[in-house]
Amino acid sequence: MAVILISGIFLSFFILILLLTKKQKALTDKILAFWMAIIGIHLLGFYYNQLGYWEIYPHLIGVTAPFPLLHGPMLFLYTLYSLREDRRIRLVDYLHFTPTLAAYLYMSNFFFFYTPEEKRMLNHGEINDYMVFSLIILIAMLISGITYAILSYRLTIKHKQKIDNNFSYREGINIKWLRNCILSIGLVFLSATIIVLVRDAFGFQFPFNADYIIYIILIGLVFYIGYFGIKQENIFTSQEDTEKIGTEEREKFEKYRNSGMKSDLVEELYEKLLKIMAKEKPYLDPKLSLSGLALLLEISPNQLSQIINQEASVNFHDFVNNYRVEEFIQRANRNKNFSLLALALDSGFNSKSSFNTIFKKQKGQTPSQYLMNQLQKDSGT
């Protein structure tokens, strides 16, 4: 276990150094660096405790006690600003650290006025001065971790909806890795909750230090982030804001902005949209966005989104990819000597994985299965 702890501590500070020495740091880099420092110090405090250093240096006792209150807010802020383009943390977001600050203020008497022997006695349970406080802070930690994990996951769901409403592709804006981080932290606090209930509420005695389970999962999160940083460079680089609209496009949108649209206008514009999709085939552009298609109709993105949602009853992502699927089927019927991937790319898809996923969602079958069934039906008739 000592080797695992040392590895987690080393990797936490190694990632911290990588982030701090980066030339062009994004806000998410700074948040992640601070979080890695917190995790590194937290793991180091637990490791020193296991080595018996708290007996030798009693002033270390309790220094990292409120640290678990920080993991939830750090996860939430990292998720929030990974999905936004802000360059600074909003003042209101510092309120997330209020419970941690309150805990340290309450413990200030212990830190500054207890003698070393009194600190040892409290650590051994011979003094009950902070028993109620320990229970309160334990419950707060568990609630905080699980709540922030849920809130962070909800952010990713809303972001996915925003992507589907504004983009016809998802490559380059995949947030699966972020969801894995959220699930890892959720697992840390869920495990802690189960251990506390089983050990303290039901009196079950584990044959080993159950805290190791919690710290192993936390170390696993650190290793995941480290691995992701090596395999996926964008976690350590400034991410391009995929929803940002250029200045020229903004000016054009202002020209066509309208406070609202009547039903007859919506129908008229929808007919115009269908003609453009059929004649100009803008969906063949793999990077087609809501803003780009809105320019062709000379309306704002909000208006186009309203038209698609109201008339087609789908989001922008599905609307465009419906056309790409049908385009692929037509091309496949005409060009049987071409590979399916080549035909898919020519139809506007970005990659094989997205093509297969979207096609199966639209048709309920893989592309090869669909074409084979179609061929059998044609030969049968």
pLDDT tens digits, residue range 46-98?
Answer: 999 989 999 999 999 999 999 999 999 999 998 888 877 777 899 999 999 99
Range among 96-110, 152-166, 320-334 rated most confident: 96-110
- Please determine, for residue 231, whether its predicted confidence score (pLDDT) is greater than 60: no
The full 3-state SS of 284-329, as one line of letters, equals HCCCCEHHHHHHHHCCCHHHHHHHHHHHHCCCHHHHHHHHHHHHHH
CB count within 10 Å of CB 263 equals: 8
Stated as kind and residue range, the H or E segment containing 101 is helix 98-113
Amino acid at 301: P
Closest to 277 measured CA to CA, from 319, 328, 225, 229: 319
Query: Can you tell me the mean pLDDT for 123-130?
Result: 86
Amino acid at 27: L
Q: In order of start, what are the domains of the chain with their CATH numbers?
A: 2-236 (1.20.1070), 247-380 (1.10.10.60)
Q: What is the pLDDT of residue 66?
A: 93
Beta partners for residue 289, in sequence order: 167
| 189-214 tens-digit pLDDT | 888 888 878 887 777 887 878 788 88
Q: From CA 191, how far away is CA 142, in angstroms rounded?
A: 10
Look-up of token digits 């040892």:
120
- Both tokens of 228, joined, read 């992701």
Q: What is the pLDDT of residue 167?
A: 65
Contacts of 13 (CB under 8 A, 6+ apart): 36, 37, 40
Q: From CA 234, how far away is CA 29, in angstroms rounded?
A: 10
Q: From CA 169, how far away is CA 366, in angstroms rounded?
A: 19
Q: Residues 11, 13, 18, 21: what is their CA dihedral angle, to the nearest 10 degrees?
A: -170
| 311-346 tens-digit pLDDT | 888 888 889 999 999 999 999 888 877 889 899 999
Q: What is the pLDDT of residue 169?
A: 61
